[in-house]
Amino acid sequence: MNNPLKIAVAGLGTVGGATLQLIQAQADILSQRCGRDLVVTHVSARDRNRDRGLDLAGIAWVDDPMALATTDNIDVVVELIGGSEGIARDLVEASLKAGRHVVTANKALMAHHGNALGQLAEGAGVSLAYEAAVAGGIPIIKALREGLAGNRIERVYGILNGTCNYILSTMRDQGLGFDAVLADAQALGYAEADPGFDIDGVDTAHKLAILTAVAFGCEVDFDAVYTEGIRHITADDISFADELGYRIKLLGIATRINGAIEQRVHPCLVADVTPIAHVPGAFNAVVADGDFVDSTVYEGKGAGGGPTASAVVADLVDIARGSRVPTFAVGVNDLAKSSPAPMEDHVGAYYICLTVRDEPGVMADVTAAFKDQSISLESMLQRGRSPGEPVLVVLITHETREASMVAALQQIGKLSTMLSAPRMIRMEAL
Amino acid sequence: MNNPLKIAVAGLGTVGGATLQLIQAQADILSQRCGRDLVVTHVSARDRNRDRGLDLAGIAWVDDPMALATTDNIDVVVELIGGSEGIARDLVEASLKAGRHVVTANKALMAHHGNALGQLAEGAGVSLAYEAAVAGGIPIIKALREGLAGNRIERVYGILNGTCNYILSTMRDQGLGFDAVLADAQALGYAEADPGFDIDGVDTAHKLAILTAVAFGCEVDFDAVYTEGIRHITADDISFADELGYRIKLLGIATRINGAIEQRVHPCLVADVTPIAHVPGAFNAVVADGDFVDSTVYEGKGAGGGPTASAVVADLVDIARGSRVPTFAVGVNDLAKSSPAPMEDHVGAYYICLTVRDEPGVMADVTAAFKDQSISLESMLQRGRSPGEPVLVVLITHETREASMVAALQQIGKLSTMLSAPRMIRMEAL
C-alpha cells in the first residue's frame, strides 16, 4: 500500500460537506480502488462553530483557506468556495504554484481563468481537475477528454442547468407562467434568491465554455459564448410549441463550423421525439457527436451534494492512481486559439411569436418583411380571432441566417399593428 | 515529444480496419492528446492478399499473430480476432506474459477468462483494456471504473445487444413476428447467419458479466448469469405490452441484493415512460445507479466499425498517456469472490400469456393456481371471445418470488384447458 493521498478541502457548504461524507463513508472501497488511502487532513470554511453535521475528528481546521496552499503535508487542495475571483481564484493559483494538485467544482473560475490556471498546472506538473464543474455527477469531462479521445468532436450540447430545466418543465406540466414557477422554485429552494446566474444563462455559458475547450482542444473563451436566458419564455410559447410537436429547453451548444467554433446558450424548440426533449426537471444531459463514435448521450443529476461530491472524488481517485491528463485534453501549447463563429452567421429555423391587432392586411405586412429577407415560412398558427382585438400569431420559418432574422424582426416591430415587440425562439435540429 | 507508442493489430475485420483508419486519420490530434505519436507498426490477419481498402504502407505484415507477442519493438497488442478460446486467448496470454499492454474488443474472452488475464496483466505490470468489449462506442467501462469511482454501485443494467434491440423495435414498429423480422435482419446484415449468440442472450450475458465485475469490484462470473433470449417473444406479446403501457426490451441487469449479486439477461417489460424504453434500433444504453451520484445514463452506438474503433483507441490513448487502472477497478487480490444470488429468489412482477380454450371455469383454475402460491394479480386482458375456441389471456402479477411463479406456471400448464405451454416475461421496475 502506498502513502495516503492527503487532501485539504476549502469550503464546507453542501458540496464540501458531501465530499467529506463520501470520503469517510467509502474509505474502504476508495482505498481498494486507488491502492492507497484517501484522507482529508485539513479543512477550511467560514464559520468554525457552525454545526454542519460533519465528523471533523482528526482533521485540522484552518481559518485562513490560503494557508492550505502552503501548509505542509497536503497533496491536493479541493476548492469548493466558488466565484471566479477573490479567495477561490487566489487559493487555486497559489496551490498550483506550490506544486499541489487542485480539484475544483468552480465553473465560473474555470470559464474565466481556465487557460491561465491550466498553464500554471502544466508548468508545475500537477493536475487541475474540474469534473464537478460541469453537469454535476455525469462524468462528461472524462468522457470527452479520455473516453472519446479517438474522435474529432463535431458538436457538443446539452441541458446544463437544472434550475432552468426545472422551471421550463414545470411551466409545461402545470401550464403556469414564468414568474409564478420561478417564485415557487425559490420557495422550494430549487432557485436562488438572486436567480440571474441560472435563468439568464450565465451558469450554462460557464459550463459550455469549459465543455468547448475540452471537446475541441481550444482555449476557454467564455466571452465568445452568445448567452440568452429564459425570462422571456411565456406559457403561450410552451403551449404553442407543444401543439407543434416541440418542447422548449435551455441548451448550451458548441459546434465546429468551417474551422470556427460557434458557442451559444439560449432557449430552443427541440422536437418532441429527441431524447433531450424528455430530460426531466433537475437532470442534466450532454450529447457529444464524434466523427467515429457518432452520437453519444450522458444523463444524470446535474447538481446537489451527492452527485457533485461523486465528481469531486472521481478527480481525487484519478490523482491518487497517478493518472494525469492535460487540463483541456491537449497540452496548453497545443490548444487552438479561440476562433468564434459570430452569432449573426448562425443558420437555423426560428419560432416567431407576434401580438398583433387583428385587422386586414397585418399578415401581408409580416410576410412581406420575411420575403424582403428571403426567409421562407414553414407554418403559421393563430390563436383567437376577434377583429380589432389583440391576437397571438406564431410563425415557424425554414432555415435562415440570424442576421436576416434580426433585420426582418426589426422591420416587423415597426408595423403599427404590432402590439408588442416580436419575440423569437431558435429551433434546434438535433 | 516522447517515444511513439508502437501498436500491433491482430485481426483486420470491420473493427480492425476501422481502428487502423482512425489511427491514421486522427494522427495529429492523437499525437497532441497523448504527447506522443500512436503508430501501428505491425498487423496480422488471415488473408494477406485480400483487398481491405486499407493503407498498410510502412506497416509490417506478420502471418502468425502469435509472433506479435514476441516480435521486438511492440508496446501494445490489439486483439481483434474474437472468440473465447484459440488464437485470441493464446495471443492475449502470451502478450501479457511478455510484458505487453493488451487492448481487446473480445467480450467472450473477457467474460470467460477475465480473472486469469487480469491477474497476468497485474503480475506483468501492464494494462489489459477492454472498453470496446461492452456497449461499443459508449465509454462505459471508463465511467464505471473511474468516473463513478466514488460510488458504491447498487445496480447496473442496459440494452447491450443491438441485434436484439433492432429485432424487438422492428417487431413493434411493423407489427411483425419474430421469425419474419429475424429473416429480414439477416438479409440486411444486422443479424448473423448463426444468430444464436445474439438472440439467445449470450452476447448480452458476456457483456453483463464484465460490467458486473467492474461495477461491483468482484470476479467475473459468466456462469452465474441467468440467460434467456428473445426467440419466444411474439407479436401478441408486443401488442399486449403496448396496450398496457410497456415496451419489451432485452436487458442485462446486475443488482446488489443482500451482499450477493444477481446477474440476469432476459426480455423485460419496461414502462413506456422510462428512457430505456425509447432506445432505438442499433443503439445501446447503460444505466448505473450509485449511492452518491444517483442514476446516470449512457447511450450510443453499440456496434460497428467506427464506434468500436473509437473505444479501442480510447484505451490506446490511456496507455499512451501512461494512465493505468486495475483491470476491474480494484487490484486482483482485492476482487470480491463471486457470490451469485440464485434466480429462484428473484423478486419481481410478471407478465403471463396463456392460450386457453374459452370455456367456463378456466379462469377460476388459473387464479386458484396463483392463489396457491400467494401470488396476487394486478390486471387481466383477454383477446377474442368465442366459446370453445382458443383465446389469449394476459395476466400481470404483483411482485412475487421467481420460485413461486415457476410453481404456479407448472400447475397452470397441466390444466386441460391450456392449449399451449404458459409463457412468462418478467417486468422490470426501473
Question: Chain A closest CA to B271's CA: distance in Å?
Answer: 15
Say what the pLDDT of residue B388 is.
Answer: 80
Each domain of chain B, given as residue ranges in start order, spans 5-133, 140-303+332-343, 346-428
Report the pLDDT averaged over residues A179-202: 92
Q: How big is the A-B interface in CB pairs under 8 Å?
A: 197
A67 touches chain B (CB under 8 A): no
Out of A301, A316, A334, the one facing B32 most closely (by C-beta) is A334
Residues of A in contact with B296 (CB under 8 A): 137-139, 298-301
Q: Nearest Cβ partner of A139 from B22, B148, B306?
A: B148
Instruction: List the grid coordinates of B12.
Output: 483486420
Predicted pLDDT of residue B379 = 93
DSSP state letters, A76-127: EEEE-S--SSHHHHHHHHHHHHTT-EEEE--HHHHHHHHHHHHHHHHHHT--
Whole-structure pTM value = 0.96
Interface test with A, best of B5, B24, B33 (most A CBs within 10 A): B33
- Is the predicted pLDDT of residue A248 greater than 80, yes or no? yes
Q: Which chain B residues are within 8 Å of A301, Cβ to Cβ?
A: 293-296
Contact A322 B317 (CB under 8 A): no
- Closest by Cα among A346, A218, A191, A192 to A208: A218
Report the pLDDT value the prediction gives residue A1, as an integer from 0 to 100: 59
Query: pLDDT tens digit string along B366-380?
Result: 999 999 999 999 999
Alpha carbon dihedral A401, A402, A408, A414, in 10-degree steps, equals -170
| Model confidence pLDDT, tens digit, residues B273-321 | 888 998 988 899 999 999 999 999 999 999 999 999 999 999 999 999 9
The pLDDT confidence band at residue B170, using thresholds 50, 70 and 90, is very high
Q: How close A135 comes to chain B (CA, Å)?
A: 11
Backbone angles phi, psi at B316, to 5 degrees: -65, -40
The backbone torsions φ and ψ at residue B209, rounded to the nearest 5 degrees and listed phi first, read -60, -35
Mean pLDDT of A95-113: 98
Cβ of B230: how many Cβ atoms within 10 Å? 25
B80-107 as b/e: b if 16+ CB within 10 A: bbbebeebbbebbbbbbeeebbbbbbbb
Share of chain B above pLDDT 70, in %: 100
Confidence at A190, pLDDT banded by 50, 70, 90: confident
Q: What is the mean pLDDT of residues B27-55?
A: 95
CA of B321, closest CA in chain A: separation in Å?
7
Candidates A123, A120, A241, A238; CA nearest to A173 is: A238
Question: Measured between beta carbons, which residues in chain A are less than 8 angstroms from residue B298?
Answer: 296-299
User: Looking at residue B226, what is its pLDDT?
Assistant: 98
ipTM above 0.85, yes or no: yes
Contact A30 B149 (CB under 8 A): yes
DSSP letter (8 states) at residue B330: B
Q: Are B354 and B362 in contact (CB under 8 A)?
A: no
Mean pLDDT across A47-63: 94
3-state secondary structure of B277: helix
Facing residue for A146 by CB, picked from B298, B306, B314: B314
Q: Which residue has the cell 459564448?
A: A225
A32 to chain B, any CB pair closer than 8 A? The answer is: yes
pLDDT exceeds 70 at position B43: yes
Which has the closest alpha carbon to B274: B157, B159, B429, B160? Answer: B429
Strand, helix or coil for residue A351? strand
Using a CB–CB cutoff of 8 Å, tell me whether B147 touches chain A: yes
Average the pLDDT over B35-42 and give the result.
97
Residue A419 pLDDT exceeds 70: yes
Q: What is the pLDDT of residues B315-354, one digit of tens each?
A: 999 999 999 999 999 998 899 998 999 999 999 999 999 9
Tens digit of each residue's pLDDT (9 = 90 or more) over B224-240: 999 999 999 999 999 99
pLDDT above 90 (res A201): yes
Half-sphere exposure of A279 (CA within 13 A, CB side): 35
b/e burial code for range B274-287 (CB count within 10 A of at least 16 → b): bbbbbbeebbbbbb
pLDDT (0 to 100) of residue A386: 77
Burial environment of residue A248 by CB neighbours within 10 A (0 to 12, 13 to 18, 19 or more): buried
Distance CA A178, CA B227 (A): 50
Position A389 scores a pLDDT of 86
**In the prediction, which pLDDT does A384 show?**
74
The reply to whether residue A147 touches residue B142, judged by beta carbons under 8 angstroms, is yes
CATH class as words, domain A344-427: alpha beta
**pLDDT score, position B275:** 86
Residue B189 has a pLDDT of: 84
Nearest residue of chain A to residue B299 (CA atoms): A297
Q: How is chain B split among helix, strand and coil, in percent rounded to 5?
A: 40, 25, 35
Is it the case that residue A361 has pLDDT exceeding 80?
Answer: yes
Chain B's closest residue to A278, CA to CA, is: B275
Catalytic residue among A97, A107, A142, A207: A207
CA–CA min distance B152, chain A (Å) = 8
Structure-block grid coordinates of residue A386: 376577434
CA–CA–CA angle A77, A81, A86 (5° rounding)? 100
What was the pLDDT predicted at B143?
A: 98
Spell out which residues of chain A touch residue B137, defining contact as CB-CB under 8 Å. Answer: 290, 292-294, 296
For the domain spanning A140-301+336-343, the CATH number is 3.30.360.10
Rounded to whole angstroms, how far apart are CA atoms B167 and B232?
12
- The reply to whether B331 touches chain A by the CB within 8 Å rule is yes
The architecture in CATH of the region B140-303+332-343 reads: 2-Layer Sandwich (3.30)
For A70, A89, B111, B121, the CA distances from B96, given in Å and listed in that order, are 43, 45, 17, 6
- Look up residue B135 and give its DSSP letter: S
Report the percent of chain A where pLDDT is more than 90. Answer: 91
What is the pLDDT at residue B162?
A: 95
**Which residues of chain B make contact with A218, given a CB cutoff of 8 A?**
none
Note whether A314 contacts B: Cβ–Cβ < 8 A.
yes
Judge contact between A152 and A291, C-beta under 8 A: yes
Across all residues in chain B, what is the average pLDDT? 96
Q: Does the structure show a pLDDT above 80 at B361? A: yes
User: Region B6-17: what's the mean pLDDT?
Assistant: 97
Task: Give residue-wise pLDDT tens across range B392-402.
Answer: 999 999 999 99
Tally: H helices and E strands in chain A: 13, 18
Contacts of B426 (CB under 8 A, 6+ apart): B266, B267, B268, B269, B346, B348, B349, B350, B351
- Residue for grid cell 396496450: B243
Give the residue numbers of B marked as catalytic: 207
Q: Which of A80-94, A371-385, B161-175 has the lowest mean pLDDT?
A: A371-385
What's the whole-number average pLDDT of chain A?
96
Q: Does A334 touch chain B (CB under 8 A)?
A: yes
Instruction: Determine the pLDDT at residue B1.
Output: 59
Q: B149 and A307 in contact by Cβ < 8 A?
A: no
Cα–Cα dist A253/A159, whole Å: 9
- CA angle, B77 as apex, B75 and B79 as ends, to 5°? 170
Residue A193 confidence (pLDDT) above 90: no
Q: Comparing A5-133 with A344-427, is the CATH topology the same?
A: no
Measured distance CA(A207)–CA(A108) in Å, rounded: 8
d(CA A313, CA B148): 9
Q: Which residues pair with A166 in a beta bridge?
A: none
CATH architecture label of B5-133:
3-Layer(aba) Sandwich (3.40)
Minimal Cβ distance to A300: which of B32, B297, B329 = B297
Q: Do B149 and A330 touch (CB under 8 A)?
A: no
Looking at residue A80, its amino acid is L
**Where are the strands (E) in A153-282, listed by range?**
153-159, 226-227, 246-257, 260-271
Give the pLDDT confidence of B79-131 residue by residue, as tens digits.
999 999 999 999 999 999 999 999 999 999 999 999 999 999 999 999 999 99
Contacts of B122 (CB under 8 A, 6+ apart): B326, B327, B331, B332
Residues of chain A contacting residue B312, judged by C-beta atoms under 8 Å apart: 150
Q: What fold, for B346-428? A: Alpha-Beta Plaits (3.30.70)
Q: B150–A325: do the CB atoms touch at under 8 Å?
A: no
Using an 8 Å CB-CB cutoff, list chain B residues near A142.
139, 142-143, 146-147
From the list A29, A131, A323, the residue facing B152 with the nearest CB is: A29
In A, which residues are within 8 Å of B2 by CB distance? none
Calculate mean pLDDT across residues A253-276: 95
Contact A307 B325 (CB under 8 A): no
